[in-house]
Structure formats: structure tokens, C-alpha cells
Structure 1
Amino acid sequence: MSLHLDRLCVRAPDGRALFAPLSLRLAPGAVGCVMGPSGVGKSTLLNAVGGHLPRTFRADGRVLVDGCDVMPLPAERRRIGVMFQQAVMFPHLSVAGNLAFGLCPSVRGRAARRRAVEDALERAGLAGFGPRDPATLSGGQQARVALLRTLLARPRAVLLDEPFSGLDAERRQDIRRFVFDSIRTAGIAALLVTHDAEDAEAAGGAVTRLG
């Protein structure tokens, strides 16, 4: 799935544009990057793309997924996944339960859903982790599970909001590689927000600077 931002601009409640109109084309499997200092509007840009913009803000322009403009649609119908800086796990669910929660509804039947979760854990190097409490996982393991849950929903595009910033250097490189490889394998476009030049270089896609 491709992602195209066509002169996308976000305006604050006072009507002020947070950044100049942004145009960006990402092919299936490509990871584009938006960089800029804190407070420039990077996360707000992702909110506009995903459909999570506060009502007091306004977005102008178009967001096209595979050529279809999703701007008129609510977030749940855009099918754009989000991976945040902190991996958000449901504490009352096991690792497998967290992944099953994100499964695409088209995966039906208890056996099929269990197999999909087990296959995902094996691909991530986490075979046998299904019964574990998410609180027992390391930061890197939680990041892998968070991405798996996002991808199991079969999103049409993925937004990455500084997902590596809470990791140490060694784990950051490993998780970054896992995330980018998984997105390329899935063949969906992704937009990464970061302030780290190494993240942008590893993504290998177009780099846009705000501010």
C-alpha cells in the first residue's frame, strides 16, 4: 500500500499553520522520515494522517492510501496503524492476548487466530512467549510485540512516532532493523517521526524536515 501526503497542513485553534504544506509520496514498503526539533508539529502531523487530530485543530490537504483520499474518514476506517515511543501493552492480557486483540477480524476461528499469533511470535524471535505477562518483557521485547500487534491488524499504512527513543544503543539498532524489515516484508508504506539522524539513515527513505 502506498501513502501520499498532498499539500497537508495543520492549523492550530488560532488559525496559525504549524508548518508549510507538506507533500510526500511513499511507495509500498518504503519508510519515509520526518525530522525537526521538539514542538515543531511532528506528532501533530502524524495525528492528522491517522485521523486523531483534536477537534480544535484543522487539517487541510489530502492523505491518499493507495490513491484513495482518507481525510474524510474517521480514524477507525482509515486503517492506519500507529507505533508509539512507549510500547503500550494491555496489562490484564498475556502477550498472546495482546496480539490476538490486534488481529484482523478476517482471521476467524480459535485455531486460526492462535496459529497467527504463534507464527508472529516465531518470526519475532519470541516463540513460546505467548503465556507471558507483558510486564516481564524487556523494552526491546515489548517493542517487538507492539509492532506485531500493529501489523496483525493488517493496516494499510503505519505511523512510527519516535518508537526507538526509549531504547539503549544496542537494542535500538536491533529493534530498528526488525521494525523496518517487517514493514518492507508487509509491503506497506510507513512514516517515521524522529529527531535522530541514525534512525533516518536506517529507514533509507525520503527525509522531510519541519521547522
Structure 2
Amino acid sequence: MNAVELESVVFHHDAARMRFDLAVAAGEWLAVIGPSGAGKSTLLDLLAGFLRPDSGTVRLEGRDVTRASPAERPVSMVFQDDNLFPHLTAERNVALGTSPTWRLPAEARAQARAALARVGLGGMAERLPGELSGGERQRVALARAFLRERPILLLDEPFAALGPALRAEMLDLVAQLRAGTASPPTIVMVTHHPGDAAGHADRVAFLEEGRVAIVGPPREVLSGADPRVAAYLGKDKG
């Protein structure tokens, strides 16, 4: 079964017309690459429900969600900005994933602390985001996303601001968290770093001018055999 389907999805942004056709199998990890302005974040926003298409159909887990609100969709999303509330502790930020109330039930508190422990922040539950490093804040965001246990996880360049070593560490953490769940979520990950796709994705989708131009195995797509990808990767010798 496909977890994600975009069928003839058209969206207009200013003068640009984007059209997406894409299918992602349940449990698959898809990396989305392409030049700036190709429509990568727009694609994620259409899946998450932050944008609505002008026409076409968005299906998630086999259900038509084209007009559904973000809250109605089986999706969690981690952004480039960690999207934490600066006045809330790490524990409370994580607990918002399942208990969006001011007074935390004991069960929600325990779940949040367990989630923080899984991302290596077991001793930082009471810290505020301003007291954490960039990598630690993204760990909190990941803990919240995985605690929600939604079947689809969207990653919009959440580690772009991190150095290469820390970015690789965070991607390994995502893989570990994913492997540790009973039903591994489907992942759609936007990245500007082809190496991230090569190391973790099952397939890579290359976007160009608001279209999904190529989809295939990482080794095949990133080889640069296609001149459009070669130009994007800086391998174009023509």
C-alpha cells in the first residue's frame, strides 16, 4: 500500500505553476532533492495540509485528505527551525505531541521523559530551549515527533544548520528511532545534502521547476547520469 500519493496535484505560487505526481510506499524513506525554488518545501506543505492544491488529489494512508486540516492528517513534521516553545521545558515541548494541556497528566510526563531518554536527553527534561544547543533542540523536536507515533514523518531540512558530523549523527538517530518502532513510519525528507539521501533513503526524488522529474534508487539518481541531476550536483562537464 502507498502511504503517500499525490495525483495531478497543481499549486500556483505567484507566477509559477507546480504539478506533483508521486507515490511513496508505506514504510519507505524518500529523500527529496533539487535546486532552490524547485518546490521541495511546497510539496511537504501540501502533504502536511499547510497549503491546499488548486486541483488534484492528496491521499495519505489511502484516504483522500486534499481538503483536510493539518490536525486531521496522519502526519508529524520536523522543520528546519526546531519549532519549540521557548517558555516551555524540553519535557513540556515533547509532551505537547500527545497532551496539549497546561497541566500534564503523570502518564504524559512519563512518556515525554522516556522519549527524551531515547534521543539522549534523559537528564535535560527541565531545561528551556534557550539552554540547549541547536542539535539538542532538534533532538527534542524528534522526540516529540516520534512520541506522536504518526505513520508519516515529514522532515523539512531539520538538520541543515548543523555541521556535517552532527548532521550525520542526527540522521543516524532518526534511523535508530524509526527502527525501534513497531511500525516504522514512512519518511519524506527534503535535503540539500545528497550524501544524506545516499546514506539513508530507499529512493530519491529529484524536483525541477515544480515537477517530480526523476525518482529512483539513490545510487542511480545521484550518479549524475541524468544531465539535470548532474548540473544540480556540479558534475555537469558540458
Q: TM-score, normalised by structure 1?
A: 0.87
The runs of 5 or more residues in structure 1 that have no matched partner are none
Change (3 A) 1:50 1:144: same
- Per the alignment, residue 10 of structure 2 pairs with 10
Task: Report SS of the residue matched to 1:61.
Answer: strand
1:54-94 residue CA offsets vs partner (Å, 9 max, x unmatched): x6xx3433332222222231111013111111212111111
Aligned equivalents of 1:143 and 1:206: distance in 2?
A: 24
User: Partner of 2:22 in structure 1?
Assistant: 23
1:46 aligns with 2:44: yes
Percent identity over the alignment? 34
SS of the residue aligned with 2:124?
coil
Equivalent-residue separation in structure 2 for 1:184 and 1:101 (angstroms): 23
Give the TM-score normalised by the residue count of structure 2.
Answer: 0.78
C-alpha spacing 1:13/1:110, structure 2 compared with 1 (3 Å): closer
SS in 1 for 2:196: helix
Q: 1:36: which partner in 2?
A: 34
Contact 1:134-1:142 at 8 Å conserved across structures = yes
SS in 1 for 2:154: strand
Matched, 1:158 2:157: no
**Superposition RMSD in Å:** 2.3
Q: Give the distance between the partners of 1:13 and 1:201, measured in 2 at CA.
A: 30
SS of the aligned residue for 1:160 comes to strand
1:64 corresponds to which of 49, 59, 63: 59
Alignment of 1:88-107 (within 5 A): 88-103=83-98
Q: List alignment gaps of at least 5 residues for structure 2.
A: 209-238
Q: Deviations over 1:97-138 (max 9, x none)?
A: 111112257xxx722112101111111111121111211111
8 Å Cα contact 2:99-2:108 kept in structure 1: no
For residues 156 and 192 of structure 1, do their structure 2 counterparts lie closer, same or farther at Cα, with a shift above 3 Å needed?
same
Pick from 186, 192, 195: which aligns with 2:192?
195
Specify the alignment match of 2:136 in structure 1: 141
Residue aligned with 2:180, SS: helix
Paired residue total: 204
Question: What is the DSSP-based 3-state SS (H/G/I as helix, E as strand, rest coil) of the residue aligned with 2:36?
Answer: coil
Q: Give the secondary-structure state (helix, strand or coil) at the position aligned to 2:205.
A: strand
Question: 32-41 vs 196-205, which deviates more?
Answer: 196-205
Higher relative contact order (CA 8 A, sep 6+): 1
